[in-house]
A and B are shown apart, each in its own frame.
Chain A
Amino acid sequence: MSVDLATVKRVARLARIAVTEDDANRMVGELNGIINFVEQLGEVDVTGVEPMTSVTPMDMRKRVDAVTDGDKADDIVANAPVTDRNFFLVPKVVE
């Protein structure tokens, strides 16, 4: 499989990264280089092999479903670029 210019632009859109025509053209070569490198995995026989989901067999630790944290609105918005009274501000999303 190899990626073309249209695929690069589609993936950039999915990844929410604006790319110029020049960026996209450069990325075609770079991404194909990496894709070609990883293609060799196709030659491994994985019949009956389970995909890894955790490197160490472990049971997820659970806790009581209760509020253990909170009342930190000021802290949460402290690093945001634009806020108003503990709300994050974004460009209008509904007309």
Chain B
Amino acid sequence: MTELTSLTIAEAREKLASKEITSVELTKAYVDAIDAFNGTFNAYVTTTPEKAMEMAKASDERRVAGKVGALEGIPLGIKDLFATEGVHTQACSHILDGFKPKYESTVTQNLWDDGAVMLGKLNMDEFAMGSSNETSFYGPVINPWKAEGSNQQLVPGGSSGGSAAAVAAHLCAGATATDTGGSIRQPAAFTGTVGIKPTYGRCSRWGTVAFASSLDQAGPIARDVRDAAIMLKSMASVDKKDTTSVDLPIPDYEAALGQSVKGMKIGIPKEYRVDNMPEEIEALWSQGIAFLKDAGAEIVDISLPHTKYALPAYYIVAPAEASSNLARYDGVRFGLRVDGKDIVDMYEKTRAAGFGTEVKRRIMIGTYVLSAGYYDAYYLQAQKVRTLIKRDFETVFHAGVDAILTPATPSSAFGIADENLAADPVAMYLNDIFTVTVNMAGLPGIAVPAGLDKKGLPLGLQLIGKPFEEETLFRTAYVIEQAAGKFTPAKWW
């Protein structure tokens, strides 16, 4: 029999509907796969097989009773950043040791309300700060992809590295993820999966551990464009508990697939042609342009002049917000406590022991740029630059551009414990050079696999859209997917 874990969400949905399979069978297949292979990938930091089987059984019963949700019986993995009631929720940080929330995040509640099944919590960079999943307290995740003829272990990207690896290795049908500077799109590109960061406000942030509140958005990582469309529709909602969630109708994203892109204007920003860009990335980009041109889209050269300032502005705004958000981890209300001689000593020792190196570095940067005398020079300047970055996009959209095509990342997946990256934090930050502008402007962005490099590793393209026009992105990404095909790693595990 074909492996049940190789089915996409859409395929599983069909087989469940025709009663060819049950959710209990499908879920059991994933539970067994996780049992057998999670040790190889370290994608899950905690698994919930009993809860999964219980949820699957309940789903099958609902189906018999004629109550079928949009994700009825589909087994999903959940990034450790989402609060899941009574289940390990630690943002993969030591400082949240033992934290089991008494509440459920809005995004995951939406998924369960639509009938989905939870398999467990997925590995990630600590507090979503990282581009390689190596800052996790639970250790790195192994990318299911390997370069041809090489046995080197590669990173799956980050921060949603566990989500991307689990989807690519078929350890879940789809996964939740979050994106503050590229944390959905970069790992999707590194693993040949599809990831979308929706417009800021499309998904509720309630119950998602906060990193940088003005940038954080939840979204799915899935096997293909259709599955991403199915998942986003369920994840998105307006929510009384998040005043930045937006009260706009949620379209049927799946209905956008297959619609023509004829006559659509696709912008190609010249500023994304960066120095030392590998030839293969350049070639992939040209290939993407050709795919869309062949499908009838009009290609236009555009300029987004403040692009180069997005990453430096991000490394002021994000750490500033993080230093404030992470002030709550003080050893009093949850997680780790290290005793000290007085209360301040207790705070300082707890935070020294509980936070990893990268998280401390960003809290320090954030505290510095917000400190007396530096606020105007750094934070205020960065927020003004952010206005200019957003204005760049508004100008091109106003001129009639429907979507923007760029590479998703400046390279394919790199090796675990890369020495150059370990020695230079800024070199690691450059991974987000193409994705971070989208968060700064609050826009939607999708990463879709478009080819393999010479080493046989997947590369992704990014499409950037107007606010709340995710449908345009799905429609356009589907055209690229149809032309490029889908990419799955050769199974070595």
Contact = CB atoms under 8 A, between A and B. Distances in A.
A19 to B, nearest CB: 7
B346 A90 contact: yes
A76 B361 CA distance: 30
Given A16-B327, A79-B98, 18 more contacts: A16-B344, A16-B348, A17-B352, A19-B352, A40-B309, A46-B388, A51-B386, A56-B244, A58-B201, A61-B240, A61-B243, A61-B247, A79-B335, A81-B331, A81-B335, A88-B333, A90-B343, A92-B342
B355 A49 contact: no
A5 B214 CA distance: 31
Interface in A1-33: 1, 3, 7-8, 11-19, 27, 30-31, 33
B interface residue count range (under 10 / 10 to 19 / 20 to 34 / 35 or more) = 35 or more
B381 A46 contact: yes
A34 interface: yes
The 3 A-B residue pairs whose C-beta atoms are closest, nearest first, are A55-B442, A51-B383, A18-B348
Interface of A: 1, 3, 7-8, 11-19, 27, 30-31, 33-35, 37-42, 44, 46, 49-56, 58, 60-61, 63, 72, 75-76, 78-82, 88, 90-93
Given A55-B200, A56-B442, A78-B102, A41 B383 contact: no
A64 to B, nearest CB: 12
Given A14-B367, A81-B337, A44 B306 contact: yes
Contacts of B306: 44
Nearest to B247: A61
A17 B364 contact: yes
Contact of A42 (B247, B335, B346, B381): B381
Given A41-B381, A41-B382, A91-B346, A58 B352 contact: no
A46 B148 CA distance: 49
B152 interface: no
Contacts of B65: none
B16 to A, nearest CB: 35
Given A75-B102, A90-B346, A56 B200 contact: yes
Tell me what chain A mostly uses at the interface: helix, strand, loop, or mixed. Answer: loop
Contacts of B387: 49-52
Interface stretch (B47-55, B185-193, B286-294, B312-320): B312-320
B425 A33 contact: yes
B441 interface: yes
B450 to A, nearest CB: 28
A68 B306 CA distance: 44
A17 B353 CA distance: 9
B426 A11 contact: no
B377 A1 contact: yes
B129 interface: no
Contacts of A55: 200-201, 214, 390, 441-442
Nearest to A14: B367
B62 interface: no
Given A15-B323, A31-B361, A44 B367 contact: no
B385 A41 contact: yes
Contacts of B99: 79
Contacts of A14: 367, 371
Contacts of A16: 327, 330, 344, 347-348, 351
A67 to B, nearest CB: 15
Interface string B225-261: 0000000000000001001101100000000000000
Contacts of A78: 100, 102
